[in-house]
Amino acid sequence: MHPFPTEHVAVPVMVQAWTRLTFLHWSFEPDEIRPKIPAGLELDTFDDRAWVSISPFLMRGLRPPILPPIPWLSDAAETNVRTYVRSADGRTGVHFFSLDIARLPAAVAGRTAYRLPYMWARTDVRAEGSLVRYRGTRRWGGPAASWEITIEPGRPLAAHELGPLDHFLTARWLLFARYGRTIAATPAEHEPWPLNEARVIGLRQDLLAAGGLPEPSSPPVVHFSPGVHTRIGLTRPVRTSRDGAGAGP
């Protein structure tokens, strides 16, 4: 059995594609990250290290499954900052520190419907020869932040080349958020990530600092993906431990 089995979404409430996506992953001491996650969730670690990732990408074709995409609104650049968590019943997923998106209506909807810390930002994703460049400046919703990331994707990685850490950092299908006193999970079903080797050509960001996170002390682990098609399911409460495992806001 895969350690992070895919969630099945029988009746999606939203469909979209995530394309030209880069994962930048840094490891930290768990005690540096644990106070930042909500009560009711536990920090998920790999080899006794916590991981935080920045993931810039292009979202395309966002829409309810019965409607066509809406011009302008359905396509947008987005940049997420996340860590890896599990609920008391053992389900694993991600907790977001921030989600910067180029469409203000999408940011407001994400905050309202999914209780996620969406921010409105001026963002740009473009391919320039063999490079992919991501740029952004936050406009509303949180502390000031900006980023400029340049990646050179390499060859595709075969399934047998992916190790446990690759799966830990990318094969996540639940988005956890707090609804008042309740933790809820939203499933995201998609095919396994097609991953490429990648290297960082340029990296300037203060997204981690804006989220109250420590500065990395080493270069990131990097993955690139051409993308996946995603089905977003219904948000449902999850069981939490009696003593409210975890701490923080």
CB 138 within 8 A of CB 119: yes
Q: What confidence tens digit (pLDDT) does each residue in 112-159 have?
A: 999 999 999 999 999 999 999 999 999 999 999 999 999 999 999 999
Q: What is the pLDDT of residue 207?
A: 98
Distance CA 71, CA 26 (A): 36
CA 10 to chain centre: 22
Torsion of CA 102, 37, 230, 9, to 10 degrees: -140
Cα of first residue to Cα of last residue in the chain, in angstroms, is 34
CA atoms within 13 A on the CB side of 91: 23
Residue 145 identity (one-letter amino acid): A
Residue 194 clears pLDDT 80, i.e. is over it? yes
Q: What confidence tens digit (pLDDT) does each residue in 15-66 have?
A: 999 999 999 999 999 999 999 999 999 999 999 999 999 999 999 999 999 8
Specify the 3-state DSSP secondary structure of 31: helix
Domain ranges of the chain: 14-237
Distance CA 144, CA 206 (A): 9
* pTM confidence score: 0.92
Q: What confidence tens digit (pLDDT) does each residue in 84-122 have?
A: 999 998 899 999 999 999 999 999 999 999 999 999 999
Distance CA 200, CA 221 (A): 10
Instruction: Please determine, looking at this structure, whether the domain spanning 14-237 carries the CATH number 1.10.3720.10.
Output: no
CA atoms within 13 A on the CB side of 113: 13
